[in-house]
Amino acid sequence: MKLDHTDKGILEELQTNARITNAELAKRINLSPSSTLERVKKLEASGLIDRYVTLLDERKAGYTCITFVEVTLARHGETPVENFFNSISNMDEVLECHHITGEGDFLLKIATRDIPQYDELILHGLSALPNVQHLKTSVVLSTFKHQTKLPL
């Protein structure tokens, strides 16, 4: 989808505050409310706007243990990858799953309330999955930048 200056302005504003009213959005991008709404609907229909969410502060929500886990599978191919993905899709603690290059096969971002909950997830969840050969964990000590806004 080709984006013009106005579309980019809409997306910039919505990435900053998805709860902005259509009237306020229209004012900020210098367009009529009806034209603004029409453009937003087109951006949604195209799939460029995937969804609207509320971002929570993990620690304030009680998730004090944030980890990144590199997962290496014993076997590769379409079926093992799909099986792994299907298995972790049901694990609420897994916030993100990326199929990656390098030594590992997947990089997971995991949020648990504490180390004991993380230990339980590793012992009875991830390590217990068939075809998981190796796990390498990095614990987040602090976060200096957490951004969801894409540059346009």
For 144-152, what is the mean pLDDT?
94
Supply φ then ψ for residue 53, to 5 degrees. Answer: -135, 165
For 131-137, what is the mean pLDDT?
97
Is the domain of 69 the same as that of 129?
yes
> 81: how many CB neighbours lie within 10 A of its CB?
16
Identify the CATH number of the domain in which residue 20 sits: 1.10.10.10
| Domain membership flag for residue 118 | yes
Is the domain of 41 the same as that of 72?
no
pLDDT for 3 equals 95
> What type of residue sits at position 98?
H
| Domain membership flag for residue 51 | no
- For the stretch 55-79, pLDDT in tens is 999 999 999 999 999 999 999 999 9
- For residue 136, list its beta bridge partners: 70
- For the stretch 90-114, pLDDT in tens is 999 999 999 999 999 999 999 999 9
Report the domain count for the chain.
2
> 95: how many CB neighbours lie within 10 A of its CB?
13
| Domain membership flag for residue 55 | no
Closest CA to 126 of 49, 73, 63, 78: 73
Residues 6+ apart with CB under 8 A from 100: 70, 106, 107
